[in-house]
Amino acid sequence: MLITLLVVLIPRKLHAGDELRVVAPSCSAGPMLEQHRSIREARFVGLGLRLSYGEHVAECDDFGSSSVESRVADLHAAFADPAVAGMITAIGGYNANQLLPYLDWDLIGANPKVFCGNSDITALQNAMLTRADLVTYTGPHWSAFGMRDYFERTLDGFVACLFRKDPIALEPSPVWTDDAWYLDQDDRTPEPNDGWWVLHGGAARGRTVGGNLCTLNLLQGTAFMPSLADSILLLEDDLESQPVHFDRNLTSLLQQREFKGVRGVLIGRFQQRSNMTRDLLEQIVGTKRELAGLPVIANIDFGHTSPMHTLPIGGTVQLDTSVPAIRVMEH
């Protein structure tokens, strides 16, 4: 099968001495600015990065966020500032898609920079790919760097994707966590990992699209929805997405006209309170005729549990379930 990958803008990798700007395009960073500050700052110092903060990151309205104007201004300022090498989002939320009609896509495309975050940030990442051809990164928020324990693999993945150009061979973590570490750093419960779940066999190579499934679906029918042609879908959801919700949201994506261009699907690990099991997920995937013949691997280290791979949105991934192997080729 002939695969034609679109030309994309891959931002310059981060280097020691770079300035990394914290932005809050979804929920406010205000309530977290002092929380776990010493741990977080030591992590970034260890990477050789200098943190700066958007002018409006601490603003907080009745919805736990800030105005559209404030959030857009901080993004534009970071992209326009030649001293800023990249951006990391404070945390996720629910309303990043409010910004899309007001962003200067020419400015963003003319100043390709690292942009890392996850969850609600999916709306911005896929829109940046669609409107500015910019490769962005689904990975840890700034807030996650305050995690004292069990953060090493997340940090290693962040460095591998954002500081280096070499292909990345993903591997399942031996343990994982899904606990409220931000409330009690001593009350942590690591769980043994039973590895990747190969739900459909096969091999594929394609451009990565997606992230948080329900957020990606917010872009359907808009000018910000990315092309699914020759794509590898990255899909995950949080604890609010129960099996019936994931099934419904997946079905909506499968019914997109371009879905026939999808080459494979990678599904992130589900949170415990989502009540998703391997058996239920196998049933969901097994009922989807659109997925017949496509390789599907689940229970991968990305999404709302820890550790978390940092993966490109708009990069190139190849996978082979016979090994199984997943390699990030272009990021």
Task: Fill in the DSSP letter of residue 43.
Answer: H
pLDDT band at 3 (very low <50, low <70, confident <90, very high): very low
Structural domain ending residue among the three candidates 120, 139, 162: 162
Look up tokens 């000018």; give the residue.
223
Name every residue whose Cβ is closer than 8 Å to that of residue 17 and which is 6 or more positions away in sequence. Answer: 48, 50
Helices 243-254, 278-286: axis angle to 10 degrees equals 30
Give residue 33's pLDDT band: very low, low, confident or very high (50, 70, 90).
very high
In the chain, what is the greatest distance between 2 CA atoms, to the nearest angstrom? Answer: 53
Beta carbons of 161 and 313 less than 8 angstroms apart: no
**Residue 186 reports pLDDT greater than 50:** yes
Helix (H) or strand (E) holding 4: none
The pLDDT mean for the chain works out to 96
Residue whose token pair is 């042609």: 229
Question: Residue 24 carries which DSSP code?
Answer: -
pLDDT at 324: 96
**Considering the domain boundaries, does residue 28 fall inside one?**
yes
Q: Would you call 165 exposed, middle or buried from its count of C-beta atoms within 10 A (0-12, 13-18, 19+)?
A: exposed
Candidates 89, 123, 148, 156; CA nearest to 301 is 156
Q: What's the pLDDT at 107?
A: 98
Could you tell me if 119 and 185 lie in one domain? no
The pLDDT of residue 16 is: 97
Average pLDDT of the segment spanning 290-298: 97
pLDDT digits (tens, 9 = 90+) for 247-274: 999 999 999 999 999 999 999 999 999 9
**Same domain, yes or no: 305 and 191:** yes
Same-domain check for residues 155 and 283: no
Spatial CA neighbour of 89 closest among 163, 1, 20: 20
Is there a domain that residue 212 lies in?
yes
Enumerate residues 6+ apart whose C-beta is below 8 A from 74: 23, 24, 25, 54, 55, 56, 57
Residue 181 lies in a domain: yes
pLDDT digits (tens, 9 = 90+) for 98-152: 999 999 999 999 999 999 999 999 999 999 999 999 999 999 999 999 999 999 9
pLDDT value at 1 more than 60: no
Looking at the structure of the chain, the number of domains it has is: 2
Read off the CATH number of the domain in which 301 is found: 3.50.30.60
Is residue 180 located within the same domain as residue 326?
yes
In a domain, 7, yes or no: no
Averaged pLDDT, 293-311: 98
Query: Would the pLDDT of 52 be above 90?
Result: yes
Query: Phi, psi (5° rounding) for residue 320?
Result: -145, 115
Which residues form the catalytic set? 119, 236, 304
> Are residues 197 and 274 located together in one domain of the fold?
yes
- What is the mean predicted confidence (pLDDT) over 157-178? 98
- Which of 138, 162, 186 is the last residue before a domain boundary? 162
Residue 42 in this model has a pLDDT that exceeds 90: yes
Last residue of a domain, one of 119, 137, 162: 162
Structural domain range at position 73: 19-162
Residue 22: pLDDT band with limits 50, 70, 90: very high
Q: What is the DSSP letter of 9?
A: B
- In this structure, the answer to whether residues 206 and 77 fall within a common structural domain is no
pLDDT band (50, 70, 90) for residue 214: very high
Averaged pLDDT, 77-92: 98
pLDDT at residue number 43: 97
210 with 269, same domain: the answer is yes
CA 84 to chain centre: 21
d(CA 97, CA 117): 14
Same domain, 233 and 274: yes
pLDDT category, 7, cuts 50, 70, 90? Answer: confident
Exposed, middle or buried by CB within 10 Å (0-12, 13-18, 19+), for 123?
Answer: buried
pLDDT at 5 over 60: no
Continuous segment of H or E residues that includes residue 280: helix 278-286
Query: Model-level pTM?
Result: 0.97
Report the relative pairing of strands 262-269 and 191-192 from DSSP bridges. unpaired
Q: SS3 for 45?
A: helix
Q: Does residue 195 sit in the same domain as residue 265?
A: yes
Query: With 80 as the cut, is the pLDDT of residue 2 above it?
Result: no
